[in-house]
Structure 1
Amino acid sequence: MRLDGVMGSYDALLVVSFGGPEGPDDVMPFLENVVRGRGVPRERLLEVEAHYQRFGGVSPINRQCRELIEAIRPHVDLPIYWGNRNWHPFLADTLRQMAADGVRRAAAFITSAYSSYSSCRQYLDDIARARAEVPGAPEVVRLRHYFDHPAFIAAFADHTAEAIGRLPAELRDRARLVFTAHSIPLSMAAGASPWRNGYEVQLRRVAGLVADRVGRTQWDLVWQSRSGPPHVPWLEPDVCDHLRALAKEGVAAVVLVPIGFVTDHMEVVYDLDVEAADVARELGIALTRAATAGTHPRFAEMVADLLAEPEPVNCPDLCCPAPARPGRP
């Protein structure tokens, strides 16, 4: 179905996500897909597998993608398809179905809002790789980064206010907002993007905008879910280390706001809801965690806004390059 204006240049909307296991037997094959070619030790995979198995081998991300698609549907008069980078439904399979359905040009909404190799370029590379596997694959146009879109900010502001409200009344005004995002290597964070150090700059902008919306002037941006070798520098401080530092300052309550994640990943439900919560409990800090943007009504409506905007300019070829790895220049 074609529509008038910019949205009318697309035959379909393709929601592109990271993917996640949906049962105990899926976990290790999924993790092997995620780390293929990166030389991650088997011991580390087994450690992460245990995190998933604690939740029955199911990541919340696929369920939330299905819910997000249903929330988007009333606002977008286009057929909606869904493809993942690392688990079913795989991008190539989805593009194959789209080609069979006669789709020729699709807009891609990527469930990652920021600029970096892992949060942007890797998605584009995987889309290109999947298209190369499918004869007659549709053209895929990525919708723009939306980290500072008012609807994205509003979703996190509403969820942050709700999380503050779950604290004991006497602690709410004194609670420290601690924004979190997935840590990445410093070499990746400083990669050639439209902004130098674009990933961190964008996250700090979002944190400031959300804090303003909930009337807070004091906040921190910290990092979580580091997975690289110890000798490689990554963005710091880690969220658990930061909680320990706040305890020494006498901070009694913290609200974690995972602005680096559009939907819940295992990194949110394990690294924050289990590990960080355990540390806060040991320290005597009252802790709540804001929801991700998820299916917030404003966030779902935002997708239609993006479709109606002028078609985005393609990223430069050198934007957000892959980090150097052993054996690769």
Structure 2
Amino acid sequence: MTEGHESRHQGDDLRGAARRELKPAPATGVHRDPGARVASATSATADGPEHTTVPFAYDGILLSGFGGPEGQDDVLPFLRNVTRGRGIPDERLEEVAHHYRHFNGVSPINDQNRRLLAALTGALQEAGLDLPVYWGNRNWSPYLDEALQEAAADGARNLLAIPTSAYSSYSSCRQYREDWADALEASGLQDELRIDKVRQFFSHPGFIAPFVEGLESAVREAVSAGNDRGSIEVLFATHSIPTLDAELSGASLFGDAYGGGYAAQHLAAAREIIARVDPDLAWQLVYQSRSGPPSQPWLEPDINDAIEALTDRTAVIIVPLGFVSDHMEVMWDLDEEATETAQNRGLWVTRTPTPGVHPAFVGALVDLVQERLEGRPVGQRKNTTSIGPWFDVCRPGCCENRRLGFKPAIAGLVP
């Protein structure tokens, strides 16, 4: 590994250098070997197993983030990337931009991912795994195609991708798979690189542990502030999504259940956390960051509405269950708006940490890599909720976005 390559892995990326504003263009197709059911897949997953038990020697990890602006001049170009194809004028984007401008145009998400990149690289080395980690974003520099070009230049041919999202939905899974397809085509590496992905990790004990720790601490703090445990409401918060998208999440395994697999996975994680902390705590799953036209149904209740509806409560603990790290939806929608709503109601309120670079979470990511290197049988995989372990290869139609139409994607069975 060259000195420059090592430096890039430690997060010394393009900050301060000239940035490309546009993300890769949408792919027009995907690479599929003869007989393969999964596009751009390794031999371990090309025939589309739910869980692969084939040991496979990956030669790199693709850490995949959402991306975020790192200055005022980045904000609108970044939001254009996020909303590309929807025809949203800049005037409407500015309605969202003020959230970023409140923090000087800087989202914390890139620095969060720099820290995760360094922590994951170190943890892999400590586990005896000589695997470089390449970091690319979907919507801002460093982009995914830049990460793929770096990996290919290093001689990598088979990558295992880790999205920085734990759940099934269009925006938290399928869209990553589409953007990997876009990046492969944009970089001209469709015939050279193969990309598999780790399973959704909402049920991994290393993902659950930081939330348990955070909630235990918050309950102690609330009680020390004079609140009875019976007067505390725990709000597990996650990003709202359109109800149609939710119904199509999770490979349609949950029938007519409200919120589909997306809600079911969050509820399973929340129940596990509550069971470990205090089964008698009052809690609910709430949603935040709704966008889109008022006529389009999104998952409810909104966290602010849920707080307004509380009775016989003196304290609110917000658990950002839908998020791996702090970013704008956490800092603005929870730390600013929801906190203000609670304070206006006279409620004691706190927000627990996201997993970030908690050792248990970083260890979980290493374990997800190890189970694929080993071809670990599903019954031996770490899982701590009532559902899971989730699939290695996304199932047909899982997390489809019918509003935006079909787009090429990898790491799953079509469509």
Q: TM-score, normalised by structure 2?
A: 0.74
Match of 2:369 in 1: 307
- Is the aligned partner of 1:296 residue 2:358? yes
Of the structure 1 ranges 184-193 and 132-141, higher mean CA displacement relative to structure 2 is found in: 132-141
Structure having the higher helix fraction is 1
Pick the aligned partner of 2:278 from 202, 215, 221: 215
The residue type paired with residue 275 of structure 2 is D
Whole-Å Cα distance in 2 between the matches of residues 180 and 55 of structure 1? 22
Of the structure 1 ranges 132-141 and 24-33, higher mean CA displacement relative to structure 2 is found in: 132-141
Match of 1:157 in 2: 212
- Is the aligned partner of 1:316 residue 2:395? yes
Question: Following TM superposition, by how much is the alpha carbon of 1:269 offset from its aligned partner in structure 2, in angstroms?
Answer: 0.2
Question: Following TM superposition, by how much is the alpha carbon of 1:104 offset from its aligned partner in structure 2, in angstroms?
Answer: 0.6
Q: How does 1:3-42 map to 2 (within 5 A)?
A: 9-42=57-90
- Is the aligned partner of 1:46 residue 2:108? no
- Is the aligned partner of 1:171 residue 2:227? yes
| Partners of 1:164 and 1:288 within 8 A in 2 | no
Distance change in 2, residues 1:192/1:213 (3 Å): closer
Q: How does 1:104-119 map to 2 (within 5 A)?
A: 104-119=157-172
Of the structure 1 ranges 97-106 and 32-41, higher mean CA displacement relative to structure 2 is found in: 32-41
Pick the aligned partner of 2:297 from 220, 225, 233: 233
The Cα offsets for residues 120-154 of structure 1, whole Å up to 9 and x where unpaired, read as 00000100110112233521110111101011111
Question: Following TM superposition, by how much is the alpha carbon of 1:43 offset from its aligned partner in structure 2, in angstroms?
Answer: 3.6
Pick the aligned partner of 1:94 from 147, 159, 164: 147
Of the structure 1 ranges 40-49 and 266-275, higher mean CA displacement relative to structure 2 is found in: 40-49
| Partners of 1:180 and 1:239 within 8 A in 2 | yes
SS of the residue aligned with 1:9? coil
Match of 1:274 in 2: 336
SS of the residue aligned with 2:241? coil
Match of 2:11 in 1: none
The Cα offsets for residues 77-136 of structure 1, whole Å up to 9 and x where unpaired, read as 311110000001000111011111111111111101101111100000100110112233
| Partners of 1:161 and 1:214 within 8 A in 2 | yes
Pick the aligned partner of 1:284 from 309, 332, 346: 346
The Cα offsets for residues 178-223 of structure 1, whole Å up to 9 and x where unpaired, read as 0010000000000153333100000111111111121143210000
| Partners of 1:6 and 1:307 within 8 A in 2 | no
Match of 2:20 in 1: none
Whole-Å Cα distance in 2 between the matches of residues 216 and 107 of structure 1? 37
- Is the aligned partner of 1:142 residue 2:188? no
SS of the residue aligned with 1:177? strand
| Partners of 1:11 and 1:103 within 8 A in 2 | yes
Question: Following TM superposition, by how much is the alpha carbon of 1:44 offset from its aligned partner in structure 2, in angstroms?
Answer: 3.0
| Partners of 1:16 and 1:108 within 8 A in 2 | yes
Question: Following TM superposition, by how much is the alpha carbon of 1:314 offset from its aligned partner in structure 2, in angstroms?
Answer: 1.8
SS of the residue aligned with 1:189? helix
Match of 1:193 in 2: 250
Question: Following TM superposition, by how much is the alpha carbon of 1:265 offset from its aligned partner in structure 2, in angstroms?
Answer: 1.7
Whole-Å Cα distance in 1 between the matches of residues 61 and 404 of structure 2? 34
Pick the aligned partner of 1:84 from 120, 134, 137: 137
Flag structure 1 segments of 5+ consecutive residues without an equivalent.
none
Whichever of the two has the greater Rg, that structure is: 2
Pick the aligned partner of 1:70 from 106, 109, 118: 118
Question: Following TM superposition, by how much is the alpha carbon of 1:75 offset from its aligned partner in structure 2, in angstroms?
Answer: 2.1
Q: Provide the identity percentage.
A: 46
The residue type paired with residue 247 of structure 2 is A
The Cα offsets for residues 224-255 of structure 1, whole Å up to 9 and x where unpaired, read as 00011100000011000110001xx1211000
| Partners of 2:58 and 2:159 within 8 A in 1 | yes
SS of the residue aligned with 1:129? helix
The residue type paired with residue 250 of structure 2 is S
The residue type paired with residue 370 of structure 2 is A
The size of the alignment, in residue pairs, is 322
Question: Following TM superposition, by how much is the alpha carbon of 1:161 offset from its aligned partner in structure 2, in angstroms?
Answer: 1.9
The residue type paired with residue 305 of structure 1 is D
- Is the aligned partner of 1:204 residue 2:267? yes
Whole-Å Cα distance in 2 between the matches of residues 319 and 302 of structure 1? 24
Whole-Å Cα distance in 2 between the matches of residues 53 and 180 of structure 1? 24
C-alpha RMSD of matched pairs (Å):
2.0
The residue type paired with residue 241 of structure 2 is I
Pick the aligned partner of 2:322 from 260, 264, 282: 260
